[in-house]
Structure 1
Amino acid sequence: MAGLKNPAPPPASVSALVRFQSFDLLATLVAVVRNDASVLFSNSALEDALGTSRRMIVGALLTDAFTEPFQLQNALEGASENEFAALRYDAWLKRTGYDPLPVHVIITRTEPADEIIVEMVPLEQQARQDREERLAEQAQTNKELIRNLAHEIKNPLGGIRGAAQLLEMEMESPELTEYTQVIIHEADRLQSLVDRLLAPHRRPHMVGDVNIHEVCERVRSLILAEFPKGLRVMRDYDISIPEFRGDREQLIQTVLNIAHNACQALVDRIAAGDAQLTFRSRVTRQITFGKQRYRLALELHVIDNGPGVPDSIKDRIFYPLVSGREGGSGLGLTLAQTFVQQHHGLIEVDSVPGRTDFKILIPLP
């Protein structure tokens, strides 16, 4: 094991395993150590990060697992001498076969005084949590903005359309009615846009048993009907995924919006005959998102081999009216994120030229 030196580590005592077993439920890396940095307990997340078993970690010196061990040693000495109740700093954790992992270390003194909790939060995880928090706040702000804006637009829009109709009835020249028809047509188009903006807030949440693969198959049939040539739709399903409670129609619309956006980005590859869209379902365990820890979650990927999301909109792709396509409304992904958030989940995107992966995460029972 990288860094830790313990040729004959003693196994963790039963009492320590029982006392600290709740730490196994955490996504962060946790070790309970003595004042001399020897490990009393290591949780499962730390085992995974270090690439070794709890039996090898317990009894070893945790300081040996860091690229700069003196930082942890100084912190433990300060904690043992009651200089502080908690201390935070950034460090690098050694890993077998991998580059060092940047972590935010939190040292907490406990009772009895010779036991100290060392929590290590991977900085990439911290960045993800911060990003999720910003997305959730932005989604709520967008929701209120859209609802208020849509209501403000509806009233004058109806007046404009009605006035154009009355004006058309008074006109004697057929040529002039072309102008009123333009006004009526554009008013109807804006009304349709407003209705789409308000759709998630109007329709009640219809909860029932959902099989995610039935959702994917429905979307697959719709996509192939629209793009019958030049597109391969691949399926990579984990059929063990259980049904869960949710709104089937909302989830169909969510996956359809993402898949349809992907196909529009694949237009050149479809013309060339080598476009590919993949639906992949998996179960992920002990995952934290939306500031909450879940034992199980659905992980549904919609992957395409298109040009990727433009850099100019990557950070704003779920914002309303933001589109990377000429003539796009910029509402599809906003509605998809709203629908998934109503299922206590979220959508993430990872995109590079040649591969774009939209990942839908939804808690499972």
Structure 2
Amino acid sequence: MSAGLLRNSFKGAASAAPFFPTLLDQMPNAIVVFEAENQQLVYVNPAAESALDLSRKSLEGQSVFDLFGDNNALNSMISEVKQGHVLAQRQEMVLHSLPGSIHQDSIPAHVVIAALEDPALIMMEWFPIDQQLRSERDERVTQQVEANKQLMRNLAHEIKNPLGGIRGAAQLLEFELPEKGLREYTQVIIKESDRLQTLVDRLLAPHRKAHVIESFNVHEALERVRSLVLAEFPKGLRIIRNYDTSLPDIMGDREQLIQATLNIVHNAAQALSEEISRGVAQIELKTRVARSVTIAKHRYKLAMDLHVIDNGPGIPEEIIERIFFPLVSGREGGSGLGLTLAQTFVQQHQGFIACDSRPGRTDFHIQIPYRRQEKTS
């Protein structure tokens, strides 16, 4: 197979593309094929486009060096395969990008370099080494969250009945008190009972409301979230749109997904109070299409990727592993329910939500699979 035929895949000539690239298009791992002599790319599969967050068109004419810099370990692997010492080599490494290069991320990955039938071509395959760890973590977190939700539901029901009795008794006592000044104390009981009732209702709310499925544009939903948050924080905060406008409409409960995203963006805005006061606060709403994803052991061809990224102080290390648990909050006066509800709503759409946080950058990642209407109704 010649480099010329493979290069047709860059130009979108599907009819000219041979069987080999067509087969690689279906592979879940990122794969590129490049010329052995100058490392110039001649083929990129959809999974690699997604991993690099770049299109085939923007990758045309680039080389492996342009993507990952002068990586000694990678160069050594390529050299060994190029010289025919081995047919394939595999190694775990961090794929760094050059400063100012077209690809801006660093990827801890398991990398495979392999020879092809045509000695002028070499194939590179990689997948994040945290992929399996993430799958195991997601399963563990799902089990923990489900146990916590069940506990909170049971606890809420147990609280609800005596709470109504306490409030009723306080009202009756208030009518019987001889001095009006003493009613201040019964009012404290009534108000605190009402506050606890509101908390209980919020714990039970996601499980009471019917799941309404419809087709909608996720960017229209994000624009609503953006306008709501900017109305509350009109000065000192920028909310940046980084949308992939080619995203198809998604099937889901529009209001639930708006609420889930609003909870995350609102939390981020509250955490940015110092940055807002200095006029440097920003939140980025980033959407992309993810291909060949696995969520809770189920494989999906396409999924919606949504990132909410802020430049705030980050989430304290002591609570980062528990931020989706009920009543856990890193903010004084917070109820600790916003992220719990967001996770519940996302999971009801067979999706997942995760968080990566360090000082100066917190990234909430939501991924929801595209499913057929008949499967979601």
TM-score of the alignment, normalized to the shorter chain, above 0.5? yes
Counterpart amino acid of residue 227 in structure 2: S
| Residue of 278, 297, 308 corresponding to 1:302 | 308
Equivalent in the alignment of 1:191: 197
Distance in 2 of aligned mates of 1:24 and 1:210: 28
**Aligned-residue offset at 1:196:** 0.3
| Residue of 263, 279, 285 corresponding to 1:273 | 279
1:161–1:187 CA contact under 8 A, matched in 2: yes
Higher CA-based Rg: 1
1:151 aligns with 2:157: yes
| Residue of 66, 87, 93 corresponding to 2:90 | 66
2:244–2:287 CA contact under 8 A, matched in 1: yes
Going from structure 1 to structure 2, the CA distance change for 1:93 and 1:45 (only over 3 Å counts) comes to farther
Q: Secondary structure at the match of 1:65?
A: strand
Counterpart amino acid of residue 364 in structure 1: Y
- What does the per-residue CA deviation read over 1:49-104, in whole Å, with 9 as the maximum and x for residues that have no partner? 9x69xxx99xx78664136xxxxxxxxxxxxxxxxxxxxxxxx4798989996659
1:234 aligns with 2:240: yes
1:364 aligns with 2:370: yes
**Aligned-residue offset at 1:180:** 0.3
Distance in 2 of aligned mates of 1:160 and 1:100: 57
Structure 2's unaligned 5+ residue stretches are 7-18, 32-44, 53-63, 66-77, 99-105, 113-124, 372-377
The within-5 A match list for 1:1-365 is: 21=23, 24-27=26-29, 64-66=88-90, 92=92, 123-365=129-371
Going from structure 1 to structure 2, the CA distance change for 1:100 and 1:305 (only over 3 Å counts) comes to closer
- What does the per-residue CA deviation read over 1:204-255, in whole Å, with 9 as the maximum and x for residues that have no partner? 1011112111111111111111111111111111111111211011011001
Structure 1's unaligned 5+ residue stretches are 1-7, 12-16, 30-42, 68-91, 106-118
1:28–1:120 CA contact under 8 A, matched in 2: yes
**Aligned-residue offset at 1:289:** 2.2
Q: Secondary structure at the match of 2:168?
A: helix
Distance in 2 of aligned mates of 1:124 and 1:275: 30
**Aligned-residue offset at 1:28:** 9.1
1:104–1:123 CA contact under 8 A, matched in 2: no
Going from structure 1 to structure 2, the CA distance change for 1:211 and 1:190 (only over 3 Å counts) comes to same
Q: Secondary structure at the match of 2:312?
A: coil
Going from structure 1 to structure 2, the CA distance change for 1:351 and 1:239 (only over 3 Å counts) comes to same
Q: Secondary structure at the match of 1:176?
A: helix
Please give the TM-score of this superposition, normalised by the length of structure 2: 0.70
Paired positions, count = 298
Counterpart amino acid of residue 343 in structure 2: Q
Counterpart amino acid of residue 128 in structure 1: R
How many percent identity over aligned positions? 57
Distance in 1 of aligned mates of 2:107 and 2:227: 45
Equivalent in the alignment of 1:40: none
Please give the TM-score of this superposition, normalised by the length of structure 1: 0.72
Going from structure 1 to structure 2, the CA distance change for 1:104 and 1:321 (only over 3 Å counts) comes to farther
Distance in 2 of aligned mates of 1:120 and 1:302: 26
Give RMSD over aligned pairs: 3.5
Distance in 1 of aligned mates of 2:97 and 2:256: 43
